[in-house]
Amino acid sequence: KEKKRKDLDMPNIFAWLFSVGGMFQLFCCAFIPPLYLGPFVWVRSFGLLVFQSIKILQILFYISALLHIIEACYAWFLARRVDPSNVKGWFWQTFALGYFSLRLLLKRGKH
């Protein structure tokens, strides 16, 4: 009596804002010159306060992007077993959201 779901489980809006917004802000403060940042100048200042250099912010962005790619690939292989009809959806959602999406896929796999 297992009911198959046709759609993805979606995290709440705060997960989207935190993950996508955080990656966007990290990209902006690591790679865009302060002249073009506009209202995001405070993000760059805060990033420099915490991490002390632009190079470290750039490395942090590369590591974060790599982790999102690795999580998305893991979600691809896991979804092929757990939810084969939504493999691409799980891949792209996990690529954008990282752990927030992967957690939902793992929860679906337990049932």
- Residues 76-103 have pLDDT tens digits of 999 999 888 889 999 999 999 999 999 9
Whether 102 is in a domain gets the answer yes
Half-sphere exposure of 88 (CA within 13 A, CB side): 0
User: What is the residue range of 17's domain?
Assistant: 13-110
Query: Domain tally for the chain?
Result: 1
DSSP 50: H
H/E stretch holding 10: none
Whether 6 is in a domain gets the answer no
Within 8 A by CB and 6+ apart from 106, the residues are 78
Whether 2 is in a domain gets the answer no
Residue 102, helix vs strand vs coil: helix
Could you tell me the pTM of the whole model? 0.83
Decide if 47 contacts 13 (C-beta within 8 A).
no
Per-residue pLDDT of 62-74, as tens digits, reads 999 999 999 999 9
Whether 95 is in a domain gets the answer yes
Structure tokens at 58: 């750039």
Whether 93 is in a domain gets the answer yes
Whether 5 is in a domain gets the answer no
Q: Could you tell me the pLDDT band of residue 10, with boundaries at 50, 70 and 90?
A: confident
